[in-house]
Amino acid sequence: MRLSKALWIPFLTAIIIISLTIPLSQACSDDWIDEWCDDDWFEDYSFEDDLPGDVNGDGKVDLTDLSEAILAWGSNSSHPRWNPKADVVEDGEIDILDILRIIILFGNRANAWDLVFEDVCGRGTILKINLAKKCFQFITPDKDYGVRNATCMRLAKFRSCRCMREESEEGRGRLIIIKHLDDELRLLAVAHDSQKDLCITIAWDRQTQTRYFLIDKVGIED
């Protein structure tokens, strides 16, 4: 049985409504995060770095990566100088082929944001998500909250729905849950990265007591 897109809106809306029932006092405690990151619903995940040649993992290929590859020159997996990220051609050793490959890739940069959602109701709020680094950036007309490591970022499990599980395994149709809490910002986001992305976000500035909303509806993208 295939889950239609029309069913996503009430499903996600229900999650948001439930979150609004959480008292502000409870939202300030770690229990709030733990309960919403329950393993019965969500799972941890990781993504491989998709930028070949980025030996030091800073999101770009430059002289620093070349230097680190040269330091690992002549090594293999059993050598103390072995650096697997410098093995760009993936032949099990660091040699001239890896060096040349890094030089060819010079200047390449990683896509900083896997998903970018913008409110379609004129609120001026924007949410950017990096899945690999599990970080986000929330921007409002009043303030840019900068890049923050999410307290909890997980993908929903779809064990009971074969079609959704297959989409998740193919890297699409993932339901992403972000729960964040720090001294300044509390944020709940539910995003679905299908062909027509959907995102609902509620954020609270804990210092000014300002509440922000973001709704990126299905079908808005060109």
What is the per-residue pLDDT across 59-103, written as a single tens digit (0 to 9) for each? Answer: 789 999 999 999 999 999 899 999 999 999 999 999 999 999 999
Beta carbons of 171 and 160 less than 8 angstroms apart: no
Beta carbons of 199 and 214 less than 8 angstroms apart: yes
Name the token pair of 17: 């409504």
pLDDT at 210: 94
DSSP 53-67: T-TT-SSB-SHHHHH
What is the per-residue pLDDT across 23-50, written as a single tens digit (0 to 9) for each? Answer: 444 444 445 444 545 545 455 555 555 6
In this predicted structure, the answer to whether residue 142 has a pLDDT above a threshold of 70 is: yes
In this predicted structure, the answer to whether residue 2 has a pLDDT above a threshold of 50 is: no
What's the CA gap between 196 and 216, in Å, rounded?
A: 10
Give the angle subtended at the CA of 20 by the CAs of 157 and 181, to the nearest 5°. 70
pLDDT at 163: 46
What's the CA gap between 143 and 163, in Å, rounded?
A: 40
What's the CA gap between 142 and 138, in Å, rounded?
A: 11
CB under 8 Å to 8, separation ≥6 — which residues? 192, 198, 218
3-state secondary structure of 86: helix
Confidence of residue 193 (pLDDT cuts 50, 70, 90): confident
CB under 8 Å to 207, separation ≥6 — which residues? 183, 184
In this predicted structure, the answer to whether residue 57 has a pLDDT above a threshold of 90 is: no
Confidence of residue 14 (pLDDT cuts 50, 70, 90): very low
pTM of the entire predicted model: 0.59
Confidence of residue 157 (pLDDT cuts 50, 70, 90): low
How does DSSP classify residue 5?
Answer: G
Half-sphere exposure of 200 (CA within 13 A, CB side): 15
What's the CA gap between 137 and 149, in Å, rounded?
A: 9
Domain ranges of the chain: 5-47+111-216, 63-104
Name the token pair of 96: 């001239």
